[in-house]
Amino acid sequence: MRHTPPLVLRGRTFDAGHAAVMAIINRTPDSFWSGNRHVGLDSALAALDDAVEAGADIVDVGGVRAGQEGGVVEAAEELRRVMPFLEAARAAHPDLVLSLDTWRSEVAAEAGAVGLDLVNDTWAGADPDLVHVAAEIGAGVVVSHTGGLPPRTDPVAMTYADEQGGDELAVVRDVLRVLSSGAAAAVTAGVPPERVLIDPTLDFGKTTRHSLTVLAHTDDLAGLGYPILQALSRKDFVGETLDLPADDRLEGTLAATAIAAWLGATVFRAHDVRATRRVVDMVATIRGDRPPARAVRGEPTGGA
């Protein structure tokens, strides 16, 4: 079992003893899972309050669907979707860690005015200015791996070097190479190491077999020396593994979450906050990194 350095955001520390649950709020009409489409601001803020009550440490808002469906969303429209939410969220929850899922530096720069804590770049530095903006606004950054694909590109027939020869770990080596380079670039840009998260970005630029292989090698990622984010929630690799639609992928997601937590991941991007919170806390206790909330079973009761 490996341990990664702690993640420190907004004065809070997340580590093996207290993993961070990152709640997802999608301000989009076309999120792949219908259970997290919050076009209206009131709906998004109600989801925010529910997530905080359920145990979310970080809230990640996105204004653009990851895949190609839904058409082009320009930066101005992305800002129109996310800024009112971020402003209201910061006013309602001053101490909450706020994250923005964007690959655009201009969007992150404007969002910095609300006290943004984390820039979740799920497209592997497609905009090279993004890490510099994160440093300027004092935010952390998520470094991702997408197999070299540009934003919003769905993977088709993805292969990695040496796979043709039966080397199934080629994708793991590519993930390690890209994440190591991306994390170093973020630190060079001025983002403190304790604010750099690495994300193997399952499903992005990967087949289901790739994602399963990378997940099983989460402990290799821990060797890079940065806290690990795993974004597993209801993803296609879960659906294809179990032949289930997005509505029925909770159990598969939680199984993957438990494995990732055991292998060293400490931040989990999730639609189902309460269930994820309980899973990662239970795993942390089994690993010996977190004491039970109470331990009275079989304890002496006193008396003569």
252: left (phi over 0), alpha (psi -120 to 50) or beta: alpha
Do the Cβ atoms of 9 and 97 come closer than 8 Å? yes
Do the Cβ atoms of 45 and 39 come closer than 8 Å? no
Catalytic residue among 235, 249, 277, 290: 235
Euclidean distance between CA atoms 3 and 240, whole angstroms: 30
CA angle at residue 160 from 186 to 269, to 5 degrees?
50
294: left (phi over 0), alpha (psi -120 to 50) or beta: beta
Whether 2 is a known active-site residue: answer no
Catalytic residue among 81, 152, 249, 269: 269
229, with CB counted inside 10 A (0-12, 13-18, 19+), is: buried
Residue positions counted in the chain: 304
User: Distance between alpha carbon 108 and the CA centroid of its chain, in Å?
Assistant: 17
Closest by CA position to 224, among listed 261, 184, 164, 280 = 184
Whether 235 is a known active-site residue: answer yes
SS3 138: coil
Euclidean distance between CA atoms 26 and 248, whole angstroms: 19
Q: Catalytic amino acids?
A: 235, 269
